[in-house]
Amino acid sequence: MPLPYRRLVVKIGSNVLTQPNGLPDEARMAQLVAQIVGLKNQGCEVILVSSGAVAAGRSLITLPPKADAVRSRQLLAAVGQVKLLSLYAALLAPHGLLGAQVLVTKEDFRDRQHYLNMRNCFQELLQQNVIPIVNENDVISVTELMFTDNDELAGLVASMLNADALIILSNVDGIFDGDPSQPGAQVIRQIAPHDTSFAEFITATRSQFGRGGMLTKCSIAHKVAGLGISVHIGNGKTPDILPNILNESAVNTWFQPSKKASGTKKWLAHAQAAQATVHINAGARAALLAPAKATSLLPVGVTSIEGDFQRGDLIRLVDEAGHALGLGLAEYGADKARERLGQHGQRPLVHYDYLFLTTDN
């Protein structure tokens, strides 16, 4: 049976790779690597987003009880990342495969040139049959530079590489329609692109060893599926979970994808560092949000501009009530845009090919 996906991003969470005592679960790592190798042997490109560096660090060094939390995490990540990659390398070597370390920060996704450089690196690794092993650079990622967790990072990587699917492996079978600890609770097997009813079943509880939880997983899954990428949430502790998700025999939650978005729009979906804010009137808002119609932002619909920007800069669009509508790349600078405020017959300020709307209301 042919695989349904050619390019796959697999995210393995801390609770899958970590034993109850907080140390790495090397036996489970071996099982998951064997599954990844099996998928590669069937022609699937796999990008691995792996937690576990901090846990690996704990197995190598003991910190004093009152050590600073941020510095301790940096230290454990710096020491543990070496061991984590060494473990992966040792598990891949018997299969004649190489793994490559890719450490990133949120800033790498905000800057368009950084983003393209990183994408080119991934493409070359895949072309050379190397498995990229991705993790947040916890040594320098603190406060505003941090991803919510590796689920967010995995979603960004899947979007950047135009993956066919993202599989998020946690320590639960998927999203339940009630409290998983109560009798009768069932896994929601499929979630349609515009279905948000599952949100009522999600709690904000964080995982034991990771920073995130099911709330962030679902948020990222829904966003990534909206960009045209299938997303599965399954239990990484279940034997043969990866091949069984792909052959549809494993219990998991599948976020069905919407229509594919362009590469630029996928970057815009995650970019956050807008140079300026552009306010638009009700007519422009209605035109941009009209269903099944691609519309550019024209100067006639712009009422005011906060900040300065140049051609190609990222700008944020808001309506008259101050509600965020989306992001776009400016076709020209703020000076020209201000000269053309409210004027008919002018070039679009943001062409629809470079516009990403974040609201459906």
CA 106 to chain centre: 11
- The domain over range 274-357 is classified in CATH as 2.30.130.10: yes
Residue 40 is labelled as binding a ligand: no
pTM, full prediction: 0.74
Residue 138 is labelled as binding a ligand: yes
Residue 150 is labelled as binding a ligand: yes
Please give the chain's pLDDT, 361 residues, in tens: 678 999 999 999 988 998 888 788 999 999 999 999 999 999 999 999 998 888 888 888 888 888 888 888 888 888 999 999 999 999 999 999 999 999 988 878 777 778 888 999 999 999 999 999 999 887 776 655 566 678 889 998 998 898 999 999 999 999 888 777 778 889 999 998 877 776 666 654 444 434 445 777 888 888 889 888 999 999 999 999 999 999 999 999 999 998 765 555 665 665 556 779 999 999 999 999 887 677 899 999 999 999 998 887 888 899 999 998 888 888 899 999 999 999 999 999 998 878 888 754 4
Residue 252 is labelled as binding a ligand: no
- Alpha-carbon distance of 149 to 8, in angstroms, equals 19
Strand 190-191 and strand 314-318: the pairing is: unpaired
Per-residue H/E/C for 226-281: CCCCEEEEEECCCCCHHHHHHCCCCCCEEECCCCCCCHHHHHHHHCCCCCEEEEEC
Per-domain boundaries in the chain: 7-265, 274-357
Which residue is listed with tokens 């190489």? 98
Give the phi and the psi of residue 165 in degrees, each rounded to 5: -155, 155
Architecture of the domain defined by 7-265: 3-Layer(aba) Sandwich (3.40)
